[in-house]
Structure 1
């Protein structure tokens, strides 16, 4: 918490001083008790009330004084406020290893269900795009607010092929309307059709996000966020660009990538060779690379060994991405609390002792 006029907090010294004065008054009062010879008459004249009641109104006044002094100093604090707009790209691995069943009912099915819930959790004003990648990445759904189109595209994803993780990152930037070449001198691969994701790309009902021209950027708190949520279960095995150089391009465009490593080290798939013979392959997630991608771009890295873990991660991401932190003046909160405490103390004094205050 910060204060616009912190010097006024010195007035808080009045509170302990008032407490000391109150204590002295109470001790003096106990020394000057009126003596009655007729005890029965005393009981009739003075109603019996709990001794603690007489301390409640003064205590409320002291707390009220504290709140009002803090209000005078004009406090501000960081509060979570919902974002007005953002572009979120869901980048999902649909390589053959996503058929592994170490995550119930399968890696792909768990990812589809959790991503669908994540989409519904985001504010309706957020544009969400979907990129699927295996041997090559493709934009399945351009950034849009049409949640039905996103759900339909997620349901139609199928798993097969290799893992072009680096190319998928670049395609995610392009899906958000960004130019990867703007942050790197190297050429970026363009999105290409991917046989691993069934269905054709769904065009957006609205234009994709376009980076603001230089010199016209809005203040940081007002800039629409562009972020990528990248889910993968394997190591980069194909493609033109390695994952870390691709992540550096995203970092150059201020696009954080939140990475999720799906699956366990015990995950296996059965694949045929060129002669049709079946082989069982171990397909552990590449946790080191995914963690490095998140660190390079300023995102966060998560591990999801179970479907429940994956659902919780997406839920937490929805809260993190959907809100931003801003400094807001909260003077009115302290002023209102102080006034309510004063009214409460006065009301109790009037009710219990027929006096004000």
Structure 2
């Protein structure tokens, strides 16, 4: 919000009515003394201020002397406001955002309902988000299947992060959503002073790992990390492989856990059913990230205005056409 870093300086503005009263009192008594020592004919002529056609001439309210006083008063006001340290919020966040992509690379991500497969489409779509991040934003990547590991540490170099994203390869494990979220939370919290966001994508059920999704959510909430979740999968279970005994393996999306994670951490859950919707989700996520406004000091503007008003008043008062003898 708009405010002041040093509001105590604003108490000096109390002097304004005192200065105005002093000026009015001084001018009133100056005019009275002038009338007392002036000739009666001069007083009458000044009082009537008639023009040659018999009409009264218009007397300007803002006399040169009064204009000088107003300029000096404005200079005083601007300088006091500048000393108070005014600041306003801007649209962009000063320190940027830590954004960590937590990506499911389990065996089900090899399903071919997304062409050529889910993992490749997920990588290309996530690259849209990485490339859309701001200059002060940091990006990192965590991958998870039966466990979790770092694929790219937090870095402001989005091009490097993008290359590491596209280099991610398939794995054959199960799906440890809790482990993936916990490691992503730890990475997002590794660089202080920034807002922290995790984008978690999964196409399966949480059926592996040592940390439950609920435990990972608690971990994220303690560190004030916002988590957006993306559920990837077709409307029906998709066959992606067979186990060693020849039994079919299907990718079953666990929407309940993904919705729970997003709701508890102040994020949002998105459902992707094909390549187009997944790209739209990632392309729009940068707009969903809440960026706190930067408090920018604008006291310099008031200093400039104060100096301009002061110089203008001095020029009018003591310049070639000075009004103060």
Once the two structures are superposed, residues 266-303 of structure 1 have per-residue CA deviations (whole angstroms, 9 ceiling, x without a partner) of: 2423423334x3x4332131111100000111111111
SS at match of 1:158: coil
The structure 1 residue matched to 2:178, chosen from 152, 155, 166, is 166
Aligned equivalent of 2:234: 264
Once the two structures are superposed, residues 195-243 of structure 1 have per-residue CA deviations (whole angstroms, 9 ceiling, x without a partner) of: xxxxxxxxxxxxx50x4xxxxxxxxxxx520110001111111111111
The structure 2 residue matched to 1:175, chosen from 182, 187, 205, is 187
Distance 1:326 1:312 in 2: 29
CA root-mean-square deviation: 2.9
Q: Is residue 252 of structure 1 aligned with residue 248 of structure 2?
A: no
Aligned equivalent of 2:29: none
Seen in structure 2, the aligned counterparts of structure 1 residues 104 and 171 have a Cα distance that, compared at 3 Å, is same
Aligned equivalent of 2:133: 122
The structure 1 residue matched to 2:113, chosen from 68, 91, 102, is 102
Q: Please say if residues 178 and 214 of structure 2, whose CA atoms lie closer than 8 Å, have aligned partners that are also in contact.
A: yes
Distance 2:114 2:221 in 1: 31
Q: Is residue 321 of structure 1 aligned with residue 289 of structure 2?
A: yes
Q: Please say if residues 265 and 284 of structure 1, whose CA atoms lie closer than 8 Å, have aligned partners that are also in contact.
A: no
The structure 1 residue matched to 2:194, chosen from 224, 243, 255, is 224
Aligned equivalent of 1:157: 168
The structure 1 residue matched to 2:258, chosen from 290, 304, 329, is 290
Aligned equivalent of 1:132: 143
Higher Cα Rg, which structure? 2
The structure 1 residue matched to 2:268, chosen from 271, 284, 300, is 300
Q: Please say if residues 166 and 241 of structure 1, whose CA atoms lie closer than 8 Å, have aligned partners that are also in contact.
A: yes
Give the number of equivalent residue pairs. Answer: 215
SS at match of 1:104: coil
Once the two structures are superposed, residues 5-48 of structure 1 have per-residue CA deviations (whole angstroms, 9 ceiling, x without a partner) of: xxxxxxxxxxxxxxxxxxxxxxxxxxxxxxxxxxxxxxxxxxxx
Distance 1:297 1:323 in 2: 16
Q: Which runs of 5+ in 2 are unaligned?
A: 3-87, 297-325
Q: Please say if residues 264 and 284 of structure 1, whose CA atoms lie closer than 8 Å, have aligned partners that are also in contact.
A: no
Aligned equivalent of 1:273: 243
Distance 1:290 1:84 in 2: 29
Q: Which runs of 5+ in 1 are unaligned?
A: 3-76, 179-207, 212-222, 329-357
Distance 2:235 2:249 in 1: 11
Q: Please say if residues 83 and 322 of structure 1, whose CA atoms lie closer than 8 Å, have aligned partners that are also in contact.
A: no
Seen in structure 2, the aligned counterparts of structure 1 residues 82 and 148 have a Cα distance that, compared at 3 Å, is same
SS at match of 1:81: coil
Q: Please say if residues 100 and 267 of structure 1, whose CA atoms lie closer than 8 Å, have aligned partners that are also in contact.
A: no
Distance 1:270 1:169 in 2: 24
Farther off after superposition, 224-233 or 314-323: 314-323
Distance 1:240 1:319 in 2: 33
Q: Deviation above 6 Å: which 4+ runs of structure 1? A: none
| TM-score, normalised with respect to structure 2 | 0.59
Q: Please say if residues 91 and 230 of structure 1, whose CA atoms lie closer than 8 Å, have aligned partners that are also in contact.
A: yes
> Pairwise mapping of residues 1-357 of structure 1 onto structure 2 (< 5 A)?
80-82=91-93, 84-159=95-170, 160-176=172-188, 178=189, 208-209=190-191, 211=192, 224-275=194-245, 277=246, 279-321=247-289, 323-324=291-292
Q: Please say if residues 112 and 240 of structure 2, whose CA atoms lie closer than 8 Å, have aligned partners that are also in contact.
A: no
